[in-house]
Amino acid sequence: MAIREIRIVGDPVLRTPCDPVTTIDERVRSLVTDLLETVDMEGRAGLAANQIGSNLRAFSWNIDDEIGYVLNPEIVALSDEEYQDDDEGCLSVPGLWFPTRRSWYARVEGIDLDGKPVVVEGTGLMARCLQHEVDHLDGKLYLDRLERSVRKKAMRAVRELV
């Protein structure tokens, strides 16, 4: 398989909601391999399928020396009283980091390549990653979550980027 090129802000695939995986075939297995190999680099916390040009609902993560993936992820729980406002970045918006509010805890449910249920949950960076990647699969970028004043500055920086 291969380390795939990352799609950059402005590419319409990043704004297109991904389709659920309905059949686990060689195409899906190949996608998962590519997601795992492409996320397995320093400085990469997560990678959604549309970031490498696929329209299938899948993502991989690389947090605290743990690499994994999930198909058809859906957020099923978020902390509603505890938040984090750290800077967030994105492989599809290279070099730009902005404070982004996320829930401190997140839980995602999906399936694996055998069609078996998968639960991925965490706090801090893992929770941020889960929320960020599911946003990608829904056709959203972290830039969409920025406070108005920060978003203005961010969009100026994005225009210079592309």
* Domain contains 2: no
Q: Which parts of the chain have pLDDT scores under 70?
A: 1
Whether residue 15 contacts residue 139, with contact meaning beta carbons closer than 8 Å, is answered with yes
CATH code: domain of residue 71: 3.90.45.10
Q: For residue 1, what pLDDT is reported? A: 56
Q: What residues are annotated to the active site?
A: 133
Q: Phi-psi bin for 150: left (phi > 0), alpha (psi -120 to 50), beta?
A: alpha
Q: Which two structure tokens, joined as six digits, stand for 126?
A: 């893992």
* Domain contains 1: no
* Domain contains 91: yes
Q: Which two structure tokens, joined as six digits, stand for 43?
A: 């400085």
Number of structural domains the chain divides into? 1
Residue-number span of the structural domain to which 143 is assigned: 12-161
The pairing of beta strand 87-90 with beta strand 83-84: unpaired
* Domain contains 4: no
77 beta partners = 107
Per this entry, what is the length of the chain?
Answer: 162
Whether residue 16 contacts residue 55, with contact meaning beta carbons closer than 8 Å, is answered with yes
* Domain contains 152: yes
Rounded to two decimals, what is the model's pTM?
Answer: 0.96
